[in-house]
């Protein structure tokens, strides 16, 4: 379950560019990051769920996330693949195919974003079946994905990890907010 | 046989899994918040922070800043049970170096 509230606005200012001096002074302690494109990015986003198999609600606002991430990683010079509303099995196939793409050999990193309903350790396919995050990490590990050995692999998981709502706690000195 | 021993000695081994960083919208056991018009809190803050800071901040520190933003956010739904609800993001990392994206910088051009 996820909830849907509050009123802040998303920022769409351009990604600030890195300066040559900054690159020169930080490259030695950093992962190599020079390939063009930087890497492949995969976004799997489930917004609408199969009502015949599950009573998971439509994730309103989920399309905004898809577009936000697609634009962000495009601007960061990733080749972005966006797939919507997949069953758990289709997500698995998609992730396996993505991890095996030969382009990884030429690129310096990769990104995987999973957006769906979820429970601790897993996210839901549109069919109400669970995809285990540990399985996902395994697909990209040093044994199964040798083309990405020693290259940074980024994962972003937008999903619930339980049903508990965090109602918050009063801060001791938090009488008045400024 | 000697050659074989040399090869074995020179073979570099890696852990089964390394060099990963994973940002989670919320903590174990809890629900993640999503604005129906602006999208999920976590994706919003991740987007904003990367856009503004990736030029001089590595990803682990970016995710620390996202944590700070998420910590200060509250649900806005007056009259409902979710009014002023909270969320806390986290990340796990097996990175072994700083992960800078060096946006829009190509040393050879």
Residues of B with CB below 8 A from A153's CB?
19-21
CA A152 to chain centre: 14
**Backbone phi, psi, residue A166, to 5°:** -85, 105
pLDDT, tens digit, 9 for 90 and up, residues B33-92: 999 999 999 999 999 999 999 999 999 999 999 999 999 999 988 888 889 999 999 999
**Is the Cβ–Cβ distance between A24 and A40 less than 8 Å?**
no
Q: Is the dihedral of CA A27, A32, A35, A39 positive or negative?
A: negative
Q: How close does chain B come to A68, measured CA to CA in Å?
A: 7
Interface test with B, best of A44, A158, A169, A177 (most B CBs within 10 A): A158
| Residue in B21, B27, B102 nearest the CB of A33 | B102
Which pLDDT score is estimated for A10? 54
Q: For residue range A14-54, what is the model confidence (pLDDT) as tens digits?
A: 999 999 999 999 999 999 999 999 999 999 999 999 999 89
pLDDT tens by residue, A109-126: 999 999 999 999 999 999
Phi, psi of A8 (to 5 degrees): -85, 165
| Residue A160 among the catalytic residues | yes
Instruction: Tell me if A104 sits within 8 A of A145, measured CB to CB.
Output: yes
- Whether residue A156 and residue B108 make contact (CB cut-off 8 A), yes or no, is no
Average confidence score pLDDT of chain A: 93
B85 near A CB under 8 A: yes
Give how far B65 is from chain A: nearest CA, Å: 15
pLDDT confidence bin for B109, thresholds 50/70/90: low
Question: Which of the two residues, B82 and A151, has the higher pLDDT score?
Answer: A151
What are the phi and psi torsion angles at B74 (to 5°)? Answer: -140, 150
B89 touching A, CB under 8 A? Answer: no
Check: CB of residue A110 under 8 Å from CB of residue A76: no
A4: pLDDT strictly greater than 50:
no
Output the six-digit token pair for A35. Answer: 């390939």
Q: Is the pLDDT of residue A3 over 70?
A: no
What strands, in cross-sheet order, belong to the sheet with A39-45? A78-84, A39-45, A109-115, A153-158, B20-24, B90-93
Q: What is the pTM of this model?
A: 0.93
Instruction: Respond yes or no: is residue A4 known to be catalytic.
Output: no
Please list, in sequence order, all residues whose beta carbon lies within 8 angstroms of the beta carbon of residue A113, skipping any fewer than 6 positions away: A41, A42, A43, A44, A45, A69, A155, A156, A157, A158
Tell me which of A104, A109, A117, A145 is the catalytic residue. A117
Q: Could you tell me the sign of the dihedral formed by the alpha carbons of A146, A147, A148, A150, in that order? A: positive
pLDDT digits 0-9 by tens, A52-105? 989 999 999 999 999 999 999 999 999 999 999 999 999 999 999 999 999 999
Cα separation of B23 and A158, whole Å?
9
Name the pLDDT band for A7 (thresholds 50, 70, 90): very low
Count CB-CB contacts under 10 A for residue A13: 8
Report how far Cα A114 is from the mean position of its chain's Cα atoms.
5
Residue A1 binned pLDDT confidence (cut-offs 50, 70, 90): very low
Angle at B93 between CA A82 and CA B24, to 5 degrees: 50
How much is the pLDDT for A174? 64
- Number of Cβ within 10 Å of residue B71's Cβ equals 11
Give A 136-165 residues with CB within 8 A of chain B: 137-138, 140-143, 148-165
Q: What is the 3-state secondary structure (H, E, C) of chain B?
A: CHHHHHHHHHCCCCCCCCCEEEEECCCCCECEEEECCCEEHHHHHHHHHHHHHCCCCCHHHHHHHHHHHHHHCCCCCCCCCCCCCECCCEEEECCCCECCCCCCCCCCC
């Amino acid at each position: 379950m996820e909830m849907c509230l509050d009123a802040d606005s998303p920022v769409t200012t351009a990604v600030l560019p890195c300066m040559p001096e900054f690159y020169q002074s930080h490259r030695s302690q950093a992962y190599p990051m020079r390939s063009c494109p930087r890497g492949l990015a995969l976004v799997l986003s489930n917004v609408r769920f199969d009502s015949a198999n599950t009573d998971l609600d439509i994730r309103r606002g989920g399309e905004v996330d898809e577009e936000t991430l697609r634009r962000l990683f495009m601007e960061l010079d990733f080749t972005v693949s966006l797939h919507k509303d997949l069953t758990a099995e289709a997500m698995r196939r998609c992730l396996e195919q993505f991890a095996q793409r030969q382009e990884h050999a030429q690129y310096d990193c990769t990104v995987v974003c999973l957006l769906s309903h979820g429970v601790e350790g897993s996210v839901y396919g549109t069919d109400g079946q669970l995809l285990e995050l540990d399985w996902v990490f395994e697909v990209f590990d040093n044994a199964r994905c040798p083309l990405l050995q020693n290259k940074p692999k980024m994962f972003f998981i937008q999903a619930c990890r339980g049903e508990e709502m965090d109602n918050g706690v009063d801060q001791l000195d938090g009488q008045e907010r400024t | 046989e000697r050659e074989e021993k040399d090869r074995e000695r020179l073979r570099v081994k890696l852990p089964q899994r390394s060099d990963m960083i994973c940002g989670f919208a919320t903590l174990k056991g809890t629900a993640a918040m999503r604005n129906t018009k602006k999208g999920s809190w976590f994706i919003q803050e991740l987007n904003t922070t990367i856009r503004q800071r990736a030029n001089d901040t590595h990803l682990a520190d970016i995710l620390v800043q996202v944590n700070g933003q998420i910590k200060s956010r509250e649900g806005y739904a007056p009259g409902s049970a979710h009014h002023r609800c909270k969320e806390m993001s986290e990340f796990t990392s097996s990175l072994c170096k700083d992960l800078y994206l060096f946006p829009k910088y190509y040393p050879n051009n």
